[in-house]
Structure 1
């Protein structure tokens, strides 16, 4: 009888064990942080309070350092992997996470080269190694099949992952992908961003947001504080020259469903992006009205509806 009881308890324990339990320990670079690092991590945690859903944070060892991943949503549902925009960190998804995680298990990854809670120990030498790093993180997460949503620079990363490792990727959602379908076109907004570099740090951010968002006043002050501190730190944003638009042959080789959304006041993309998206084997492109490059914030409700409808059709 005792043997059967022990066996039953073992089964219950195993059933209740989270397969990511070994990755919950918060690393020293966070617990022992000081100065601007501590200020940034504190600001990051404040932004996480905007998520309005329960979550767990994973710290996954990789060849080049620690990968920080925020996990939300019910277990045993279809996974979604989120790849954030440049310097934005995984917390940029605060207006979208509640909708996305209602019926999906969502994994938001902090890029190791940029502000966030991921931390680099060994130098990364090129964009190929960045893609390899993402693959290493995905291998540890052990997802059977998953969707990827990438914003801006994260959209370029999503396509690169899909071209090299498409077997497990069920679909792609690309939100104003940067340098993916076309080159960033010269425009007044691009010029304003260059001129903004002449201003103070605070004014630089304000001027930049005016060109990137159609509704900058709607961006949370809590998130903006984290964003500001992150920009003031030593940046490792390299390899931008490697982010060249993909060829038509490469893009048309994507066999999974692809949804591309851009803003009607998007400094990164124009109608040409939508034209190309609609030529993909299973591609759909659409312009979101009254939104800029930050369309997932500018028109969060509309973008959430579009994404959920697309995911439900897969």
Structure 2
């Protein structure tokens, strides 16, 4: 019997309906407006669906030839989460922010890609379609797992990897899922309570109106259809030779920062690891000036040691 073309696949992320999707996109645009304006948007095709890409800066034409930055967001969100980071990063380098298929963005998910090799294949195909032969890859949370997985499986295009409070180092525990759900419910609290809850949960989305509406709309509109990623094995981490910077929040509930501060540099030669105080899972959101400076300094150091770092890159 032929497959019903209208049947909803259970292994592919989807929007509940068009009306909720469009309402969510309006909240996304309000968050994007808080960051640097995108120079362009484009869609590239991969084996797993259409990937929507935002291109930023730089303002200085001389910086166009610098190795670009590619940003991979966390689970359940889209590239709007990089609003505190796009102004500083795109002032120095070309920046590409990818909406991951399977998450609540403008990409279109058609085939499952949660398996590690498929995830690396998707990212490699997307970079290839953009004409990017060499990039500084940055990922947060689930995006951190994606970039660590890429460094292990397909490192050929990578000048460096920056992992921001990433998945991929430890099994995702109940405490993290509890924080996610409590944060979402707290966003519905009375206005007077929201700043206190935002501080207690270290979740700025609760207190910033644009972020609160964005997170609530995304939870209503989109259904993720993938399991939590398994951590990379120690052998997999030992295989990584791409320059790596690991930045964690001191009160992270996804990783145990002190444990990884010792473990990651021990397993990955030359890796940098740092803990940012007064933050949890979102150091680049809570302390953007500090983290942006750390990221740019790391990329500058990598490029200064590698002549390939001055090679140009394609434009979307």
Is the TM value for this pair above 0.5? yes
Counterpart of 1:76? Answer: 65
Counterpart of 1:265? Answer: 251
- Matched residues in 2 for 1:196 and 1:78: separation? 37
Counterpart of 2:292? Answer: 304
Counterpart of 2:263? Answer: 276
Change (3 A) 1:257 1:123: closer
Change (3 A) 1:267 1:111: same
Change (3 A) 1:306 1:213: farther
Q: Is 1:228–2:212 an aligned residue pair?
A: no
Change (3 A) 1:39 1:274: same
Q: Is 1:252–2:241 an aligned residue pair?
A: no
- Segment of structure 1 superposing worse, 100-109 or 218-227: 218-227
CA contact (8 A) 2:127 2:133 kept: no
- Matched residues in 2 for 1:305 and 1:219: separation? 25
Q: What's the CA shift string for 1:43-91, capped at 9, x where partnerless?
A: 2222221113442111123333321011112332211111101112111
Match of 1:103 among 79, 92, 95: 92
> Match of 2:23, SS?
helix
CA contact (8 A) 1:212 1:267 kept: no
Counterpart of 1:67? Answer: 51
Counterpart of 2:33? Answer: 49
**Structure with bigger RCO (C-alpha 8 Å, 6+ apart):** 2
Match of 1:58 among 23, 39, 42: 42
Change (3 A) 1:250 1:70: same
- Matched residues in 1 for 2:47 and 2:125: separation? 8
Shift of 1:190: 5.2
- Matched residues in 2 for 1:190 and 1:284: separation? 27
- Cα root mean square deviation, aligned: 2.9
- Matched residues in 1 for 2:30 and 2:182: separation? 31
> Match of 1:116, SS?
coil
CA contact (8 A) 1:218 1:298 kept: no
For structure 2, which runs of at least 5 residues remain unmatched after alignment? Answer: 1-16, 59-63, 303-316
- Matched residues in 1 for 2:104 and 2:200: separation? 19
CA contact (8 A) 1:192 1:211 kept: no
For structure 1, which runs of at least 5 residues remain unmatched after alignment? Answer: 1-32
Q: What's the CA shift string for 1:233-283, capped at 9, x where partnerless?
A: 23124132xx22212221121112111011111111121111112212120
- Larger C-alpha radius of gyration, 1 or 2? 1
Change (3 A) 1:312 1:46: same
Match of 1:183 among 145, 158, 171: 171
CA contact (8 A) 2:179 2:201 kept: no
Q: Is 1:94–2:83 an aligned residue pair?
A: yes
Shift of 1:142: 1.4
Counterpart of 1:27? Answer: none
Change (3 A) 1:217 1:159: closer
Counterpart of 1:147? Answer: 136
- Matched residues in 2 for 1:65 and 1:237: separation? 15
Counterpart of 1:166? Answer: 155
CA contact (8 A) 2:48 2:113 kept: no
- Matched residues in 2 for 1:229 and 1:186: separation? 24
